[in-house]
Structure 1
Amino acid sequence: MSMEPVDRPQSGSAPAPPVTGSPDRVLVSVGMAAVVAVVLWAWLGEESFDSASSTSLAWVLSNFGWLFVVAADVFLVLCLVIAFSRFGRIRLGEDDSEPEFGNLAWVAMMFSAGMGIGLMFYGVGEPLTHYLAPPPASGVRPESGAAARTALEYSFFHWTLTPWAIYGIVGLALAYAVFRKGRGNRLSAAFVPLIGARRAESWQGRAIDLLAVFATVFGTATSLGLGALQVAEGLDLTVGVSVSQATELIIIAALSAAFVLSAFSGLHRGIKWLSTLNIVLVAAVMVFVFLFGPTVYVLDTIPASVGGYLQNLLPMATRTGAFSDHAWLGAWTIFYWAWWLSWAPFVGTFIARISHGRTIREFLVGVLLVPSGATVVWFCVMGGTALRLESTGQADLAGAMEDGVEASLFAMLDALPIGTVTSFIAMILVMTYFITSADSASLVMGSLTSRGALHPPSWLVVAWGVLMAAVAAVLLVVGGLDSLQTATILVALPFVVVMLLLCWALLRELRQDPAAGPGRHHALHGLQDVVRTMVGDVVAERDRARHHRLRRAAKARRDSDDGA
């Protein structure tokens, strides 16, 4: 690693990050060409692509599943350590800066970008799946009370603290580099403490940004593909449009056109307004299900499942394929960690972009706890309702799952009053999440490929968005959900190493920030002063005691002489 001097943050001010910038032609050309090449291979050479991806996936899961598990644990522990350490007082910007967005808008945009589509897709489907076929390591009987508890615990494990810790590390590193140090809004800017400023602008930095672009394209394409599958299922149930590949492709094209309009409206209008609308609609659907579903059962599940999740977090977080079902881990936990890692450049960069002016402690606590808390409530209300309906025989949700996980949400809503209306609202939600996810990811890729500009050229943002939608469409056509998952895991593997190095770079830079207060070196000096004072007091007290003894001895001799 380079030992070049690193620019240090100043206590009162920070250089301004670039607001606009011209595209990096090399990065744009190489990135787009590589993505197009993969898309053409998947489209024209379907059999060879499927064979190569399946073989590669098996090799990755067999040899590097442990790496995904260990890395995810490292990110969670590091987020907690930084948040509650002396580094938490550092502000992401100048020392007197204020947050750019209010708390509601900040949380809404963070949540919409982070996992909105995924929660709509898996919020009912994952608890039901684990209830019908529990994780092998749990040892519980299918369709039992223990299976229902385990289903919610694993849903929390896959969707709450750990994924948001992955996002939080990337977001913190980038927000610090951009707003505290005044560098460009791209991943390579956070690696300056390791490779130096010159190399961050050279091919080494471009290689890091290119990996981030790749991870973002395929990670977001997975989410867009899931959204298209669910919208198609919703159209089938609400208006009778049959599910087919043609329908899914039309949905992707229509929603991509809507994303283009949102992209041209900018961050403070399109993404902000749609994200706030998403929060309102999600809250409305969740409150409706809570009130008209098994309300008391849902209230019971929240403390019981949260307690079980916290109790079993360590065993779940350290489980690899060594002593349990390797195939199950690959299909669920490893896939999720890979998915979150592939989304990390996109979500982390976007969260960094909207977090100017917040302290590190406020940033990490908000990123970890607010979305995680909302996700817990979502799974307990939506997933808990589905579990109750299935276990009591009020609805045949297991039968609906035969058509795919995407059908579970609409089957659950159909079992409640005005199911058609709520299913239509849920379908609208998936569409708006599709648009905000594509919009946010395209903005991030535009920033990564235009030298970290906070407001990249609109044509570049749109170009990346259209290319991302094309990846989702082709992967859906050639392999459906399995193809999307495979691409996500394969792209995420090299990015695990990048993320671990990012942690090192972040800690190295935070230790040099004067706003963090005295570090270990200063603390040791203070301890030495205390020890010296204590030793001095002891020595002085010993001298005083010796002086008193001598005076008493002298007085005793005088008294003895006088008596004689």
Structure 2
Amino acid sequence: MNQSASDANRRQRFALGDPVVLTLSIGFVVLFLTLSYIDLNVVADTISQGFAWSARTFGTYFQFLMLVTFFIAIVLALTPAGKAKIGDLDAPELSTFKWVSIILCTLLAGGGVFFAAGEPIYHFVNVPPAFDTEPGVPAAIPGALAQSFTHWGFVGWAILGSLTAIVLAQAHYVKGQPLRPRTLLYPVFGERLMRGPLGGLVDACCVIAVVAGTVGPVGFLATQVGFGLHDLFGLPNTFLTRLCVLLVLAVVYVLSSVSGVQRGMQFLSRLNVMLALIIGGVIFVFGPTLFLFNSYFAGMGSYLGNFFTMVTMTPETAPAEWLQWWIVFFYAWFIAFAPLMAIFVARISRGRTIREMILAVAVMSPIATTVWFTLLGGSGIYYQMTGAIELSEALTNFQFDIATLTVAQALPGGNWMALAILLLTTIFVATTGDSMSYAIAMVGAGHDDPSGFIRAFWGVVMAIMAAVLLAMSEGQIAALQQLIVITAVPVSLILLPSLWNGPQAAYAMAREQGIIE
């Protein structure tokens, strides 16, 4: 009997999870890499066409889904049901600082840091459709920041860990259902979804979306750090250099994921937040302080004042291509990450109230993000206006890796600041890698404590995929980024029932805990 139990534990430890999820997910990775090797142009053209069709057909729906999710979540947080606690704990597992650090670092991740320096400058020299100011003049500053806040602000964050996280938390901690994306559709399809191949297909769609969304930043980071090491230290900017960067990054985030939430993951997140606070403090104190303060105040005012105009843009009110590459692209990226992010947020929020979770994800984190974009991007606008840097042409060609390093070198501390920001970006991407490896492993295992082997497996898979794509062409990583918009289409349908199931789950937990009758 003991031998049988030991064998069962061993099989559980090394099992990779649901065979349907595994087959479809790994099959996608192999198929994408194989087709890319056979003909890069055909793959890129096919994805580009799918990207344009998905953005054109579902773009407005994406915007609607995110906007409604945000407002329902905020209203829900203010109701008595917001007092309900997640999980079966009287006290939170993590301290508030550790908890907020993990949320902020995981969800902001490398994407926000990668775009923080360049995006506000881009909108400063290429005025968004919602505004009619001249480009490159002081009057364009509020609109430039407001447009960046629209992409990385309240509605983007809310879709990642509010209503969906509530549904998953109630289903898992109260009803004992697995922490898998299919659980979001349980109220619609019932038990047959949980046991049948359709559930595996739902999970696989979400895993594929996250793999596509995570491999992109991992690959872009290797390119960005390779460029930075060449510019700062004269190291050759070759594939070998980028591969070494990728290897170091993979080792860090795999070890962090294997060590779990309580150790490596929270350590990396705390380190990241502390480093970001130090860098932000140096920029604010020794940089253009008054300019940054005024710019944030004006940018936030413009964001709030033009909130609905910017969030609800359609091809009738903005150029279709601009809309696809900015609003729809970023919103699809958030949607693609949403189910697995919700799983992760539900996992780390045990003992927290629903109100705390919603406010941390949908309010506090977006505000912190807008401050970071102002410190980095606002400084970039200042140096662009004063002639210290010139990034108009590079940003118009979407060379955001150059923008980050250029702005960093113009900041107080010069090359030291550039090195610190490269380190910060690297840790941000590592927190994405470890959390997504952990979340994918939870999907495969169906519970919140997957084995270290499963976590490491998925971390290594994403690193290998990024390495192969870099070896083929950096453009293939860009193609993979476009694929996010396509994968967001089925994922958005998985999220849709949470608009009404989220409040129902919150009130059910509140009744069970005696908060309401």
TM-score by length of 2: 0.91
Look up the SS of the partner of 1:127 in the other structure: helix
The AA in structure 2 aligned to 1:493 is: V
Q: For 1:29 and 1:482, how far apart are their aligned partners in 2?
A: 25
Tell me, yes or no, if the aligned pair for 2:408 and 2:414 is still in contact at 8 Å: yes
- Compare 157-166 and 205-214 and name the one that shifted more: 205-214
Deviation readout 1:460-489 (Å, 9 max, x if unpaired): 211211222233344454425631331111
Question: Partner residue of 1:485?
Answer: 481
Paired position in structure 2 for 1:389: 383
282, 291, 299: which is aligned to 2:293? Answer: 299
Deviation at residue 97 of structure 1 after TM alignment: 1.8
Q: Secondary structure at the match of 2:308?
A: helix
**Structure 2 letter corresponding to 1:407:** I
Aligned partner of 2:400: which letter? V
From 126, 137, 144, the equivalent of 1:151 is: 144
Contact 1:256–1:466, Cα closer than 8 Å, also in 2: yes
1:449 equivalent in alignment to 2:444: yes
One-letter amino acid of the counterpart of residue 323, structure 1: T
Asked if the contact 1:41–1:49 (Cα under 8 Å) also holds between the matched residues in 2, the reply is yes
Partner of 1:16: none
1:418 partner SS? coil
The residue number in structure 2 matching 1:177 is 171
Distance in 1 separating the partners of 2:506 and 2:261: 29
Q: Per the alignment, in what secondary structure is the counterpart of residue 136 of structure 1?
A: coil
The Cα shift of 1:233 comes to 2.4
Question: In the aligned structure 2, how far is the partner of 1:139 from the partner of 1:361?
Answer: 39
> Gapped runs of 5+ residues in structure 1?
1-18, 523-564
RMSD between aligned residues: 2.3
Aligned to 2:7: none
Q: 1:154 to 1:516 in 2, by over 3 A?
A: farther
Seen in structure 2, the aligned counterparts of structure 1 residues 484 and 35 have a Cα distance that, compared at 3 Å, is closer
Note if contact 2:184-2:494 (Cα within 8 Å) is conserved in structure 1. Answer: no
Task: Assess if the C-alpha contact under 8 Å between 1:92 and 1:355 holds in 2.
Answer: yes
Q: Does residue 1:191 correspond to 2:185, yes or no?
A: yes
Q: Quick one: distance in 2 between partners of 1:486 and 1:136?
A: 22
- Tell me if the contact between 2:257 and 2:455 (Cα under 8 Å) persists in the aligned partners: yes
In the alignment, is residue 339 of structure 1 matched against residue 333 of structure 2?
Answer: yes
Residue 39 in 1 paired to residue 33 in 2? yes
Cα distance in structure 2, aligned partners of 1:333 and 1:473: 29
Distance 1:30 1:87, change over 3 A: same
Q: Post-superposition shift, 1:400? A: 5.8
- Measure the CA separation in 2 of the matches of 1:481 and 1:41: 14
Specify which of 434, 456, 459 is matched with residue 465 of structure 1. Answer: 459
Residue 82 of structure 1: aligned partner: 76
Instruction: Deviation per CA, 1:3-60: give whole Å up to 9, x if none.
Output: xxxxxxxxxxxxxxxx989522332233212322122212333122112112212222
Q: How far has the Cα of 1:437 moved from its partner?
A: 1.2
C-alpha separation between the residues in 2 aligned to 1:174 and 1:108?
Answer: 21
**Mapped partners of 2:349, 2:107: distance in 1:** 14
Task: Give the letter for the 2:132 counterpart.
Answer: G
The alignment covers a number of residue pairs equal to 500
Deviates more, 1:35-44 or 1:215-224: 35-44
Tell me, in whole angstroms, the C-alpha distance in 1 between the residues paired with 2:401 and 2:131: 25
2:8 is matched with: none
Q: Offset of 1:397 from its aligned partner? A: 3.8
Partners of 2:287 and 2:479 lie apart in 1 by 35
Structure 1 residues 399, 416: CA separation in 2 closer, same or farther (over 3 Å shift)? farther
Identify which of 390, 400, 403 aligns with 1:405.
400
CA displacement at 1:311 relative to structure 2: 0.7
AA aligned to 1:177 is A
Alignment of 1:244-393 (within 5 A): 244-393=238-387
Take 1:474 and 1:322, find their aligned partners in 2: how far apart are those partners?
40
Q: TM-score, normalised by structure 1?
A: 0.84
Cα displacement (A) at 1:229: 2.6
Q: Deviations over 1:207-252 (max 9, x none)?
A: 2211111111111112222322321222122212243444333322
Q: Which of 157, 164, 189 is 1:164 aligned to?
A: 157
Match of 1:542 in 2: none
Q: Which residue of structure 2 aligns with residue 431 of structure 1?
A: 426
Q: Within the alignment, does 1:117 sit opposite 2:110 as a pair?
A: yes
Q: State the alpha-carbon separation in 2 of the partners of residues 38 and 481 from structure 1.
A: 11
Q: Deviations over 1:81-129 (max 9, x none)?
A: 22122321221123x6211101000011111111221222111100011
Amino acid at match of 2:139: A
Are 1:499 and 2:492 an aligned pair? no
Deviation at 1:276, TM superposition (A): 0.5
Unaligned regions of 5+ residues in structure 2, if any? Answer: 1-11
- Matched-pair contact (CA < 8 Å) for 1:137–1:325: no
